[in-house]
Amino acid sequence: MKVNLTPKRKNSFRADIQALRTVAVLLVVLFHLWPNRISGGFVGVDIFFVVSGYLITSHILRDVETDRFSVFGFWARRARRLIPASFTVLVLTALGIVLWVPLALWGNWLSEVNSSIFYVENWVLAYNSVDYLALDNSASPTQHFWSLGVEEQFYIVWPLLIAIALLLVPKTKKSIRRKLMFFILLLVTLSSFGFGVWTTNFDPAVAYFSTPVRAWEFGVGAITAFIPALVNRFWSPTISLLGFGAISAAGLIYDPAIPFPGTAALLPVLATALVIVAKAETGVFSKLVSLNPIQWIGDRSYSIYLWHWPLIILTPYALGEDKLTTLEKTAIVLITLALAAVSARFIERPLMSSGIKPNLRPRAVFATLLIFSALIASSTLLIIDSSNKQIMKNIENTNREAQQLSKCFGAQAIAVGEATCLNNSLKGLYPGLEAAAGDSGFKISDCGSMSRTDWKPKDCQIGIAGAAKRIALVGDSHAGQYRAGIARLAKVHGWSVDVFWKGGCPYSDAVRVHDMELTDSCNRWFTEVKRQLFLGKFDVVITSQASGVEWNAKTNQTQEEVAESGLISAWSELVGAGIAVVVIKDNPRPVPKVIRCLELSSVEACSKNRQTAFLYDPQISAVAKMRSPKVTLLDLDDFFCSEQLCKPVIGHVIVYRDANHLTGTYVTTLSPYIEPEILSALARASTH
């Protein structure tokens, strides 16, 4: 790959726009490799959006002026330009997943390959970002296709809007046509911006990936296509330099914690528009952006973007490592450039509308696209189905073993109190590493999870319907994770158990720090659960909640005060209604990426120091301050940790399924040690 530093000769391409593409792709790649140094590199995507809006609208306007505009022709050209390279990357990425990635990730990651094939990855990520159970999903090697999905959706909608505008005005009224197109574009852009600002504040998890939220960025680029270029020997280079400077500032100053896109996206978006409108074509600045290396990267920015992320994600798995070294990151950059050069040369350019079979009709393009999409999607679905069956078989076998509570199995090994608890019939790990992430202890179909907006509690009963003893398991996912153990006890003792759980929503009068949407649904859920508890004539409420979270506190309150008072208030109402409360102290936290750690290292290497494993849990002090015999704390710390270490595998059982939740198998082995506290609470409840 030979690159020289001489400026390129003038051609039909704008050197400043190619330079914008270079800056955009470098920001993204460097951000993904060195996020702490290029903390705002994610704005590179916004630059791409503006440039795409400008170029596509410019092409459409030229076609409209010459009466050659065709929606289907436009779509066909876009498909030939973009899809062959993207499908090549997706197929090879899927192959890399099957070759190097653990079975546990196949389902999610190959599903995202399919989402990327149909360019809806942004909506899948938006859904997962509000799905509490999916928050711990590892970033897939096709996650970067979210921006390509947004772009493709823009390519579908914008030509349709143009076509509608053209139908409303006769061909002879070209000036009116142009004004109407501009008006529609301006209306869409302003509406999208307003909606984006509101959504970023109300529901930032969805806003980032949402096409309607991002549409205004394309719109700003499209508006610049209607504005005459400045082309001033003095002001053009100055304005361009100002624009590139503002983009660089955003890339260096912004960080992922900033609410985005919202108003924060104005800086990189308007700065990019400034560069486009300035159209600097003379002077030192023009020569600088025309340098061959800058133009070379800009020419191949699409391929660079396609290849870099799968390499970043898959390389550690291929090498059997957890983190990339600086040398490996540098190698990824070089390999990305090499692959981009090859794919641009042999895939992108030959298959563009002016390449192989330039007169190929749109319907032939769409038919070919449909065939290849169906072939890839069906192949990955077969692999996903096979992997899911293997995982479910592992979990079912593990659950049967857990119900038997064999000697030294899971928590039994610690309960014996011996240095080593041996059971020669136990081999390997339960569940297997490939199944641990899916071992939640319940099926979604049996006890459905709740989305971010859901507030009505799901109908979830376990045990014996209509039994004399009624128990409720209540709280966030750290309460819900005990369902498997409580279900076993309910079956043994003939209890009726109702489960009320919603991820991120503790049973407390205090309010956790969330975005407005989840805060509202949690408050409504809490009110409705409280109503059902008081109407249900329950004997005992079992509850728990995640530790180490933030709470909405007033100026004169500490986090601890608001968290503890919220629990005391909620529990006091239950006690006043004659309901006994069993509070399960929250479990310790494992090392980061605990399952991956176990795949690469020993149990000891993946253990955590007991002193740092526990986060602040307001339940402990709240129980102590209540001083009520009807509210008791169940401390299971010694079933997770020795005096020094908290291990991720105990008695051949994997303890954690993700960064903070327990496996259903380990919870089941804990049930004999939860049992006495519930029986005692039932006895206390019967005396009121």
- The CA distance from 485 to 492, in Å, is 11
3-class state of residue 95 by DSSP: helix
- The CA distance from 686 to 382, in Å, is 55
List the 496-501 sheet strands across, edge first: 461-463, 496-501, 470-475, 540-544, 580-584, 631-634
Residue 455's nearest CA partner among 393, 525, 404, 512 is 525
Cis amide linkage into residue 310, ω under 30° from 0: no
Which residue is associated with the tokens 């700065």?
271
Average pLDDT over the chain reads 90
Residue type at 581 in one-letter notation? V
Residue 672's nearest CA partner among 403, 436, 477 is 403
- The CA distance from 619 to 623, in Å, is 6
- The CA distance from 468 to 464, in Å, is 9
Check if the beta carbon of residue 136 is closer than 8 Å to that of residue 165.
no
Q: What is the pTM of this model?
A: 0.88
Q: Which helix (H) or strand (E) holds 543?
A: strand 540-544
Rg, Å, the chain Cα set: 29
Cα-based angle 271, 34, 328 (whole degrees, multiple of 5): 135
Cis amide linkage into residue 261, ω under 30° from 0: yes
Structure tokens given for 397: 């076998």
The pair phi, psi for residue 473, each rounded to 5°, is -100, 120
Which long-range contacts (C-beta less than 8 Å, at least 24 apart) are formed by 27-32? 27/247, 27/251, 28/144, 28/305, 28/308, 29/304, 29/305, 29/308, 29/333, 29/336, 31/251, 32/308, 32/309, 32/312
Instruction: Give the HSE-up count for residue 530: Cα atoms under 13 Å, Cβ half-sphere.
Output: 20
Q: Which helix (H) or strand (E) holds 597?
A: helix 594-600
- The CA distance from 46 to 247, in Å, is 10
For residue 28, the 8-state DSSP code is H
Cα-based angle 96, 98, 99 (whole degrees, multiple of 5): 65
- The CA distance from 234 to 283, in Å, is 9
- The CA distance from 554 to 180, in Å, is 51
Structure tokens given for 662: 């327990």
Domains and CATH numbers, the chain: 15-385 (no CATH), 405-685 (3.40.50.1110)
Please name every residue paired with 656 in a beta bridge, in sequence order, or none if there are none: 662
> What's the Cα-to-Cα distance from 181 to each of 61, 69, 157, 164, rounded to whole Å?
9, 13, 13, 9
* Number of C-beta neighbours around residue 130 at 10 A: 17
3-class state of residue 97 by DSSP: helix
Which residue is associated with the tokens 């040690």?
673
The predicted structure's pLDDT at residue 133: 46
- The CA distance from 634 to 647, in Å, is 20
- pLDDT tens column, 218-273: 999 999 999 988 877 778 889 999 999 999 999 999 999 899 999 999 999 999 99
Check if the beta carbon of residue 192 is closer than 8 Å to that of residue 219.
yes
For residue 386, the 8-state DSSP code is H
Cα-based angle 417, 421, 423 (whole degrees, multiple of 5): 145
- The CA distance from 680 to 178, in Å, is 79
Structure tokens given for 261: 């896109």
Instruction: Give the HSE-up count for residue 15: Cα atoms under 13 Å, Cβ half-sphere.
Output: 22
Residues contacting residue 611 through CB under 8 Å, at least 6 positions apart:
none
3-class state of residue 646 by DSSP: strand
The predicted structure's pLDDT at residue 417: 67
Residues of the chain with pLDDT under 50: 1-11, 132-135
- The CA distance from 172 to 175, in Å, is 9
The predicted structure's pLDDT at residue 442: 74
Structure tokens given for 395: 């979990």
For residue 615, the 8-state DSSP code is P
Residue type at 14 in one-letter notation? R
The pair phi, psi for residue 499, each rounded to 5°, is -110, 120
Check if the beta carbon of residue 457 is closer than 8 Å to that of residue 449.
no
Check if the beta carbon of residue 637 is closer than 8 Å to that of residue 588.
yes
For residue 225, the 8-state DSSP code is T
Structure tokens given for 278: 């300035």
The predicted structure's pLDDT at residue 132: 44
